[in-house]
A = this chain, B = another copy of it.
Amino acid sequence: MAARVRFRRSAYSAVVKGKVASSGTLGLLVSLAAWFERMARTHDRGRRQRPRRVLSQRFERTRSRAMPQNRRRQNDPTARRIGVDWGTTHVRAWLLGAGGRVLDVRRDDRGMGRIAGDEAAFGAVYDTLVADWPDVPALACGMVGARQGWIEAPYVEVPTALIGLASRAVTVTSPKGRRLAILPGICQREPADVMRGEETKLVGLALEAPDVASSGFALLPGTHSKHAALEEGCVVHFRSVPTGELFDVLGQHSLLRFSLERDGAYDAIAFDDAVLEGATLRAGELTAALFNLRARSLLEAFSPAAARGRLSGLLIGAELALLDRERPIALVGSGGMIEPISRAFRVLGRPAPRVFDGDALVRRALAHLAALLEGADI
């Protein structure tokens, strides 16, 4: 076991210390081979240990929920890392123990969007979030590293090794002297595309399902859905589809605002029909279908819940039609997104994707990458 740990650390450290460029070097090939081999081993171990992992996850969830938010953990000897997911609309911080176990969690709604460009505000929010936690190695991902974030962590270009992202982290120091490493996003030149935050979920996915990372496809539905092709631990290509944003913007600001159910309830039959339709539409037909939806609510007994189901189905059907039918897909998401997407797969007669919890993947990735950065045991 000791030998295996040493092997893993040396394989990683080659990547972490920046010996691996984003493409084309011998170093890359060597490290990728080591990384791939390691993933295969983790995969076997993961299979044997799956029942235990599921149990421990349940235990962690209970524990996290039961934990009083204001309990001071400044001297908690079990705390190992701090992981931060700082997006546009909110920020979450986890205090993590050995193996990425969640010891405590904090949340704030001062996402990057609210304090864009205000370095002092980022520092103050961070110091408040982690005030009563021990000063252990901390790593953040998401929009906090955008140009309008705390500090810019420039994009890494595809193709890029997922585990190599840690070596591109940029470090800030808070007003109270806390150091926080911030992960970069990933970009693609042709066609132009960017992601910030989702790449960390992909790192978690690579740790959780090495077979997917070696040759697979990840679908991360959301405001800006990401479709990522993975090969040998690298993101080789990706595409963003702003399905969630379109749904929100159309539902709130277009003529459809008068037709849509507000409380989120949707009619499953209308959804199913629309998924099939959306998957076959041309671009202009989708635009026309939006007006048709308004007209149906004027002319027919088309309920607001049916309208909501139909809009959601049209957009999701159109999005899923972009996916390669032959490739097995890992679906990475949280809460409410999983059910309609899984349903849409069934409606389209496609094999059910393997489902992974996005939040769990982020925590796992942050714990792992923070350890790499510090050169400590993982």
Contact = CB atoms under 8 A, between A and B. Distances in A.
B253 A295 contact: no
Interface stretch (A36-44, A211-219, A282-290, A352-360): A282-290
B193 A292 contact: yes
A288 B193 CA distance: 10
A334 interface: no
A292 B249 contact: no
A315 to B, nearest CB: 7
A183 interface: no
A1 interface: no
Interface string A285-322: 11110111001101110000000000000110111111
Contact of A291 (B189, B242, B281, B291): B242
A291 B322 CA distance: 15
Interface residues of A, number: 47
Nearest to A250: B249
A81 B45 CA distance: 86
Interface in A236-255: 239-243, 245-246, 249-250, 252-255
A314 B239 CA distance: 18
A249 B254 contact: yes
Contact of A287 (B187, B243, B296): B243
Most buried by B among A193, A194, A283: A283
A54 interface: no
Interface of A: 155, 187-189, 191-194, 224, 239-243, 245-246, 249-250, 252-255, 278, 281-288, 290-292, 295-296, 298-300, 314-315, 317-322
21 contacts: A187-B299, A189-B299, A192-B299, A193-B295, A194-B295, A194-B298, A224-B255, A224-B291, A240-B295, A241-B291, A242-B254, A242-B288, A242-B291, A246-B287, A282-B318, A283-B317, A283-B318, A283-B321, A284-B320, A287-B319, A288-B322
